[in-house]
Structure 1
Amino acid sequence: MSTAENMRTGAMERVRVPKTAEVVAQAIRTRIVRGEIAEDDALPSEAELMAQFGVSRPSLREAFRILESEQLITVRRGSHGGARARHPDITVASRYLGLLMQVDGVLLSDVFHARALIEPIALRLLAQRDDRVGATERLLAMYDKLGKLTDPRDRAEGWTEFFLTLFDLAGNKTLRLLYGTLTEVVRQEIVEWSRHDTAENTEATAKAVAKAMRLVAAGEGDKAADFWRGQMFLVEQRVAQTHRGRTVVDAVTSG
């Protein structure tokens, strides 16, 4: 069938034309992510933006609502209000990922399994860097402070910061964002684990961290990764046994 025949019969797929608000939101979004509008900078007034884009006030405000939902701007209402740019944090991505996981019935053990696969990669990457000795000293100092925390929420935050710093030092931003997003999804679960952690587990973890850092400092990336993978799989097994069949949605609704 020819293109003309397709068009006559309505068989051709319709092309979706973006709404005016979506076009405006995309233009402002691009300026923010490129740094043309710095964080906390005020956007031009509504009147200026309406003139610039040639749109109505309702279309502009709909664009603002889109950008607010993405946490790219904050809007203060009133005579002294206006829109200001902001940089979204990792909770934006984790919120949507967590929602998808809830819909798909993803098990908590599945999320911990994914983290167990990613953490060893960071150790391998860090072991390949020339500055690995100084990096491991910094991580061990962080862990030393972490070990002195008693509040479960503080300990959970400390663990998260420890591993995000590990990924920073490893030098792979994509892995850091992926790991951070997965961690954010199970943040409350990590707090619960910290609350019920035992002195025996704490001591074993300290020894494991020290060994992994020694291997990294020595440039033994493969050995460090293999060792830490084994440690994380033990954690994953504990999660699977403790929360048999428990899903991400269960953790969210009970948190």
Structure 2
Amino acid sequence: MIKAIVTGHSRGLGAAIASKLLGRGIAVLGLARARNDNLAGHHPELLEQVEIDLADAAALAQWIDGGALDAWLADAGTALLVNNAGTVQPIGPLPSQGAAAVSKAVALNVAAPLMLSAAFVARCRPGTDCRVLNVSSGAGRHVYPGWSVYCATKAALDHHARAVVLDKTPGLRICSLAPGVIDTDMQAEIRSTDLERFPVRERFEAMKRDGVLVSADECAGRIVGHLLGDAFGEQPVADLRELGASGKA
């Protein structure tokens, strides 16, 4: 049996990824601050949801230790973890970044996926095909003014995947995957940012204006194709735009 965990499944790319997995008959455990009633209505027998603030490390640790994760993975022959939840805030130069916003970003973008990955792999039974996909970003590999926190947190996911591969944990495959520029609420948030805080905003406005943004549905289909493919994990850090049309390397 294939079972998946998807963080941030309530909207955007996370919702699209969860939908693609559910559409393949794969049971999904969604972790997010809010429920996704649309997915629940279409897949009541396959979707379980936990309302949790993944930026609250203490709450996440308590949930991990509460037994629900163990129960979810107990009968999985193939287990998938998609660390999708994240935030682009705070945007702006260093003096403008509030301590609380920085702390939240690091907790959500870095601490939560690292905590979940460790707990997930530890609870996979011997012989389980265990796959971890971190939704990264080109910002983890290229720097942008105003995005020092976002760039740093995504780079952390990339480097984490590289180091995990060196551990050679039996049955584990991991990939930190940049999905490209997707037409989601995050992109709208970026385009609404003041130029003083994000000087390269026009580049993102142009992508929207020129119709080059990829839909969340299309992107999710390719991500899931890669996640389930034989080539998954061959590259610990990858870019979806550099993979084949099916999402395979």
Give yes or no for TM over 0.5: no
- Normalising by structure 2, we get a TM-score of 0.22
**Structure 1 or 2: more helix by fraction:** 1
- Normalising by structure 1, we get a TM-score of 0.22
Structure showing greater radius of gyration is 1
**Structure 1 or 2: more strand by fraction:** 2
